């Protein structure tokens, strides 16, 4: 029997979201191999059945495929489910690069066109949360994106606005967090990348900005399932993410975590998610859940029961500075 899903304030927005949200990148079937639509739909329904009321998708996930699946399922439910999506950069560059002109990445008319498209994909009149899929703080006072966002809010087409922070670069959004422009930020935070704790999380608490945590399980590295000989299907981006000696490095570091906490392989993911939720700045964490089995593993963590402080302190000692999104040497 699963405990009731615990909810947290989403910054100062006035809404409350489930501690465990649904990360919908994988169900878009782009870069992740093995997702089947029927199982994805079952997983979405199963998550909502167990109290998940926050789903994060993006226009770029399968060129709208993820949005359409999410819209189909949410449209069949009576529960209030908050859906967040994202505008992809016009230059299709992830992460945003130093020197990129915001007018080439997020011109106002482009943001508006993608918002309209996402509304159609989701079958919605209003987007609960629209996000820019990359961000650089030097864009804060440049271009016409802010005026467009304000207009879309005034027109009732988006309710809340946020940015998805470049991978492993939490410092790149400190200015926008303090500006009052964003309702939320989405950031990588996990046992290995703890950098948001230094400046970003305190700033979000100070300014009432909601925090969505992605990559809490390090694309699977913190599930305990990846060993030195793990194989991924052809075309799956994890072949590059865990390329070279990275599988071996991950397995060794997971074994160190297991030994330190005295847990088994199948308990690593729960410990990793509870570690993320131990941070008061975090509103929700959005692990990918492409199957009912994934949903059942993850939703049980959203019970409001914190990780033992002794384990939190031990896991803080396992920080590991690296960027697997860059090619393996």
Q: What is the pLDDT along the chain (329 residues), one digit of tens a residue?
A: 577 899 999 999 999 999 999 999 999 987 655 678 999 999 999 999 999 999 999 999 999 999 999 999 999 999 999 999 999 999 999 999 999 999 999 999 999 999 999 999 999 999 999 999 999 999 999 999 999 999 999 999 999 999 999 999 999 999 999 999 999 999 999 999 999 999 999 999 999 999 999 999 999 999 999 999 999 988 888 999 999 999 999 999 999 999 999 999 999 999 999 999 999 999 999 999 989 999 999 999 999 988 999 999 999 999 999 999 999 87
189, 196 in Cβ contact below 8 A? yes
What is the C-alpha to C-alpha distance for residues 226 and 213, in angstroms, rounded to an integer? Answer: 21
Residue with tokens 């809340």: 160
Q: Which residues pair with 55 in a beta bridge?
A: 22, 83
Q: Which domains does the chain have, with CATH numbers?
A: 8-316 (3.20.20.100)
SS3 158: strand
C-alpha 30/C-alpha 33 separation (Å) is 7
Q: Which of 168, 159, 213 is nearest to 18 (CA)?
A: 213
62 - beta bridge partners? none
Predicted TM-score (pTM) of the model is: 0.97
Task: Give me the residue label for tokens 């802010």.
Answer: 146
Residue 283 to residue 328: CA distance in whole angstroms: 33
For residue 88, with 0-12 CB atoms within 10 Å meaning exposed, 13-18 middle and 19 or more buried, which class applies? buried
């Amino acid at each position: 029997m699963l405990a009731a899903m615990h909810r947290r304030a989403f910054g100062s927005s006035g809404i409350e979201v489930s501690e465990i949200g649904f990360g919908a990148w994988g169900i878009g079937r782009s870069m992740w191999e093995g997702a089947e639509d029927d199982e994805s739909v079952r997983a979405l329904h199963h998550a909502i059945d167990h109290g998940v009321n926050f789903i994060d998708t993006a226009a770029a996930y399968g060129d709208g495929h993820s949005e359409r699946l999410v819209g189909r399922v949410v449209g069949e439910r009576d529960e209030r489910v908050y859906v967040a999506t994202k505008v992809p950069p016009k230059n299709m560059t992830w992460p945003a690069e130093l020197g990129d002109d915001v007018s080439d990445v997020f011109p106002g008319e482009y943001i508006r066109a993608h918002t309209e498209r996402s509304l159609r994909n989701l079958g919605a009149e209003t987007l609960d949360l629209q996000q820019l899929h990359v961000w650089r703080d030097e864009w804060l006072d440049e271009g016409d994106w802010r005026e467009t966002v304000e207009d879309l809010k005034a027109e009732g087409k988006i309710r809340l606005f946020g940015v998805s922070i470049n991978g492993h670069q939490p410092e790149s959004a400190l200015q926008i967090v303090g500006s009052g422009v964003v309702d939320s930020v989405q950031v990588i935070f996990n046992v290995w990348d703890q950098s948001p704790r230094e400046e970003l999380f305190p700033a979000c608490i100070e300014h009432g900005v909601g925090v969505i945590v992605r990559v809490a399980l390090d694309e699977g590295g913190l599930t305990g399932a990846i060993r030195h000989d793990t194989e991924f299907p052809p075309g799956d981006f994890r072949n590059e993410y865990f390329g070279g000696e990275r599988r071996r490095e991950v397995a060794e570091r997971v074994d160190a975590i297991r030994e330190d906490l005295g847990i088994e392989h199948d308990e690593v993911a729960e410990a990793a998610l509870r570690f993320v939720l131990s941070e008061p700045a975090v509103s929700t964490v959005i692990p990918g859940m492409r199957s009912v089995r994934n949903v059942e593993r993850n939703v049980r963590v959203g019970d409001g029961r914190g990780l033992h402080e002794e384990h939190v302190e031990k896991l803080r000692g396992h920080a590991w500075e690296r960027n697997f999104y860059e090619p393996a040497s």
